[in-house]
A = this chain, B = another copy of it.
Amino acid sequence: MDGEGYTHHISRQFNQELEAVRTKTLEMGGMVEQQVRDAVESVLSLDSQKADDVRSKDHDINHFQTVVDEECERILALRQPTASDLRLVLAISKIVSDIERIGDEASKVASQVIGLRDEVSEKRGFVEIRHLGAHVGQMIHDALDAFARMDTDQAIRVAYEDNKVDSEYANALKDMISIISNEAEGADRILKVIWALRSIERMGDHAKNIAEHVVYLVKGLDVRHVDATEMADRINKN
């Protein structure tokens, strides 16, 4: 084998390694998307069996993160990537961290089922959970899609959606607090609803984080501490 062939071989193997870790990240993302759907559904249907399933799968997601991180570290140590390859590895490490945190929040949502089952007839706040859950579920899907397709326009849309989710959450929270303020009885139950809403809202933040990592990956820009409009501006100027 001549020198060029060898280099080509190394390079191809390296690309396969990068592709494998990228695929695994998307696989983990798909798993967490399902977790989020199941967690919201477990609350809406007061299904404690489904809630237990969600919580038991958290372990698998944690394991996924460990495996992907180890692979990223191995690539950094042995392949010493630079430029866009380095950015891909660093972005993946951050993306799996956000995916893992979305999984944590899904478990927290599922945990609320226990306290809610006591009063099956009382379903105030459920419309809000369903609505916010669907919205954030879509955001997570879009953020992962932006990563899969290296699409910064999609990333910008996710950042804008997070603003809408934040305001939907704020409105829902206001309604729940007004319920508590008017009738003390059942306050602990409404708090469960509030915890669920809050966890769902945080998932939206993590979806936005993933979108920001995509921008870093594709454009090399750090847009973590700017709002959606500023993010769009910086990308367009770049």
Which of A33-41, A46-54, A134-142, A174-182 lies at the interface with chain B? A174-182
A177 interface neighbour in B63, B80, B191, B222, Cβ under 8 Å? B191
* B-side contacts of A188, CB under 8 Å: 177, 180-181
Q: How far is the CA of A82 from the CA of B65 in the complex (A)?
A: 21
Q: How far is the CA of A69 from the CA of B63 in the complex (A)?
A: 25
Copies of this chain in its oligomeric complex? 2
Chain A binding surface, main DSSP class: helix
In chain A, residues 75-111, which have Cβ atoms closer than 8 Å to a Cβ of chain B? Answer: 76-77, 80, 82-83, 86-87, 90, 93, 97
* B-side contacts of A86, CB under 8 Å: 73, 76-77
In chain A, residues 216-238, which have Cβ atoms closer than 8 Å to a Cβ of chain B? Answer: 222, 224-225
Assess whether A118 is interfacial by the CB under 8 Å rule. Answer: no
Q: How far is the CA of A184 from the CA of B179 in the complex (A)?
A: 9
Q: How far is the CA of A63 from the CA of B188 in the complex (A)?
A: 39
Q: How far is the CA of A182 from the CA of B187 in the complex (A)?
A: 9
Q: How far is the CA of A80 from the CA of B191 in the complex (A)?
A: 50
On whether A182 and B184 interact (CB within 8 A), knowing A73-B90, A86-B77, the answer reads yes
On whether A177 and B187 interact (CB within 8 A), knowing A73-B86, A83-B77, A86-B77, the answer reads yes
Assess whether A13 is interfacial by the CB under 8 Å rule. Answer: no
A103-146 near B? 1/0 per residue, CB < 8 Å: 00000000000000000000000000000000000000000000
